[in-house]
Amino acid sequence: MNQRKQEKIKCRIEIHFMLRQFIQNLHQERKTNWLLLIVNQVTDTIRIHRK
């Protein structure tokens, strides 16, 4: 159980960094605003869902 939790957290951190990288890349193309909104919405939803 504990190890599974750690794996989940690790996975979430990796996804978080991937998303950040992705956003930073997009930022240079000026398409960020709506994408940031979507990502924020998704992460908020995930947080609520996990509580």
Over residues 7-40, the pLDDT tens digits come to 888 888 888 888 888 877 776 666 556 777 788 8
- What ranges do the domains of the chain cover? 2-50
The position carrying tokens 């794996």 is 7
14 vs 28, 29, 35, 44, CA distance in Å?
Answer: 22, 23, 19, 17
Both tokens of 9, joined, read: 């957290």
pLDDT at 2: 86
Distance in angstroms (rounded) separating the CA atoms of residues 48 and 45? 5
Alpha-helix runs per DSSP H in 1-51: 2-27, 32-50
Both tokens of 30, joined, read: 């000026």
Model confidence, pTM: 0.42
